[in-house]
Structure 1
């Protein structure tokens, strides 16, 4: 499964038009990661994104903001692990995924009922300048420790997809490339094709 992670600041052109193009390629989900926005602005953007995701039948996951998720009738949110620890008891039926950076994080997240894990960053990426990548060995350790789906994030390029899936990952996340490329539909479709071929073979 390919998860589209958003960053509207990287987009050349209209963000919602790009999201619509990406959703036409049928990713596994869209994670609306716009952490700089005030809550009211995030809620407005989430409503616009939800319209696109509903029309294209793609699940939308909000990054934080459980209350907004409930207001929109969504079933799942993504919370950083400290936020999940602080809010787990108050999620009131919402499922929550989280990000992990160690096997110990995996144990903590699963004890809190996390529905999926995003593990990273796996490869070097411009989004994390100066921070060493954790690598495929780390990803394999996380996947073996996890009882829920694990998605890799960070520098996952087309040629690396088979290696990522070979470690046991359920899929991977792509952000910068899909926000910046000239043809988002074509680029995401190529990733989905590569993932399908690697999964079958």
Structure 2
């Protein structure tokens, strides 16, 4: 765990959430900080989840891996013990099975949000936005726009939005918007004033909050 980076990420995320709440773009049910998992980059995500601050969130993306249910169960145990919310990526059935707090939908599945929201009004539903056309998608509690900065993984081939375009997206969206992509402790403070309701990351959160 890198305590200095962890403190910066949580501090900035909390500022974004407070600023968002002042203009009705965030609420108490939206975690300020979202840890996105990845089977390759975060092979034991429950260990990081167990070190997140209370009130943070985890988005578990299993991408069809055979150990998805076991990993989800471990994450649910860790998040419940820590006071952290758990969203399951694209798998409402698995979310039901482990008692998750909601789902996260990739951009290609945003049309499922309205139906899921009707069936499970107690869930939080977030969705990915890689294009401006995704911003108007109904049924979402929040969008996760990416990549804000140059990023690795699946976003490596996408050009970064940059802070100006990201802020324009936030202003145009009908719901709160998280920033994802290339965000680390060094860049996080640049998001203050953008209108983001919080920040999300994979490697930066793993490095800051994960075990040594």
Q: Deviations 1:88-146 (Å, cap 9, x if unpaired)?
A: 32551244210112332111x1xx21111000101011223343211111211111012
Structure 1 residue 57: deviation in Å? 0.7
Q: Deviations 1:135-193 (Å, cap 9, x if unpaired)?
A: 111211111012321100001122322321311001111101233x3x62699xxxxxx
In structure 1, the residue matched to 2:102 is 76
Q: Secondary structure at the match of 2:159?
A: coil
Separation (CA, whole Å) in 1 of partners of 2:116 and 2:178: 25
Which of 32, 35, 46 aligns to 2:63? It is 35
Asked if 1:16 is matched to 2:58, the reply is no
In structure 1, the residue matched to 2:139 is 113
Which structure 1 residue ranges, 5 or more long, are not aligned?
Answer: 188-201
Closer/same/farther in 2, CA of residues 80 and 8 from structure 1, 3 Å limit: closer
Matches for 1:113-152 after TM superposition, within 5 Å:
113-127=139-153, 128-152=155-179
Closer/same/farther in 2, CA of residues 136 and 178 from structure 1, 3 Å limit: same
Matches for 1:75-114 after TM superposition, within 5 Å:
75-86=101-112, 88-90=114-116, 92-93=119-120, 94-107=123-136, 109=137, 112-114=138-140
Higher relative contact order, structure no. (Cα contacts within 8 Å, ≥ 6 residues apart): 2
Which structure 2 residue ranges, 5 or more long, are not aligned?
Answer: 1-31
In the comparison of the two structures, how many residue pairs are matched? 177
Provide the TM-score with structure 2 as the length reference. 0.73
Contact 2:76 2:100 in 1 (8 A): no
Contact 1:165 1:171 in 2 (8 A): no
Closer/same/farther in 2, CA of residues 162 and 89 from structure 1, 3 Å limit: same
Aligned-pair RMSD on alpha carbons? 2.4
Separation (CA, whole Å) in 1 of partners of 2:55 and 2:38: 16
Which of 74, 84, 90 aligns to 1:58? It is 84
Contact 2:129 2:146 in 1 (8 A): yes
Contact 1:153 1:173 in 2 (8 A): yes
In structure 2, the residue matched to 1:26 is 54
Contact 2:79 2:85 in 1 (8 A): yes
